[in-house]
């Protein structure tokens, strides 16, 4: 075993924190890399396929994925031959961040004692595709039972476009978790709608 093993691993760890700040947990890492892997192989994942991989509980994967989408690292694209099917892909911004990270990793692997070059901080991660909704809309995105990524500001909800969230009300009735996924703009009459509070 190399006697500087932990010093090399420490550098890899520091590199990841510095270059990939959007990956806060191992699940974030697995989600982003798995989506990129299937995209590169020509078979992009749908949300359902991602959930079936069992990277973590469905609720956790959904929550962490929504965060990565909000940060502009992952996006949902329509399948070219079936517009109803949404595919998960790493965005060009995400590709650039991973590509830089990989190059720096290769330098560490090639010469573990050489310090990595200093580079500018990662680019702006705030490219969000948002829709806004007022509570009067009474859609899933404004309902307290909806567990997707959203933020309430000045009385309106900012929600990531095309995101889906789990309906907790349905999940608590024992309905299959995949069948509880609802888009924020779902507006069919629902007798269970309840206004979400700030910070929900």
Residues of this chain that bind ligand SF4 (CB under 6 A): 140, 143, 145-146, 167, 169-170, 182, 186, 190, 192-193
Shortest distance in whole angstroms from residue 159 CB to ligand SF4: 12
Shortest distance in whole angstroms from residue 48 CB to ligand SF4: 18
Nearer to ligand SF4 by Cβ, of 86 and 196: the residue is 196
Q: Enumerate the β-bridge partners of residue 88.
A: 45, 76
Q: Which whole-number Å values give the CA distances from 188 to 40, 174, 191, in the listed order? A: 37, 21, 10
- Enter the tokens of residue 53: 């991989």
Task: Give which of 21, 163, 10 is closest to 98, Cα–Cα.
Answer: 21
Shortest distance in whole angstroms from residue 165 CB to ligand SF4: 7
Shortest distance in whole angstroms from residue 190 CB to ligand SF4: 3
């Amino acid at each position: 075993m190399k006697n500087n093993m932990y010093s090399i691993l420490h550098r890899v760890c520091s590199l990841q924190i510095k270059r990939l700040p959007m990956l806060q947990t191992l699940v974030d890492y697995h989600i982003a890399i798995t989506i990129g892997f299937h995209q590169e192989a020509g078979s992009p994942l749908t949300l359902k396929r991602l959930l079936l991989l069992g990277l973590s509980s469905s609720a956790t994967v959904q929550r962490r994925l929504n965060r990565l989408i909000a940060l502009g690292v992952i996006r949902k694209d329509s399948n070219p031959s079936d517009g109803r099917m949404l595919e998960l892909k790493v965005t060009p911004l995400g590709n650039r961040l991973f590509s830089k990270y990989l190059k720096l990793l290769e330098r560490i692997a090639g010469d573990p004692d050489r310090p990595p070059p200093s580079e500018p901080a990662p680019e702006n991660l705030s490219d969000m595709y948002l829709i806004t909704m007022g509570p009067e809309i009474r859609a899933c995105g404004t309902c307290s039972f909806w567990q997707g990524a959203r933020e309430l500001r000045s009385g309106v909800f900012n929600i990531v476009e095309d995101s889906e969230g789990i309906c907790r009300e349905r999940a608590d009735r024992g309905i299959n978790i995949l069948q509880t996924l609802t888009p924020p703009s779902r507006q069919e009459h629902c007798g269970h709608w309840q206004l979400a509070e700030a910070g929900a």
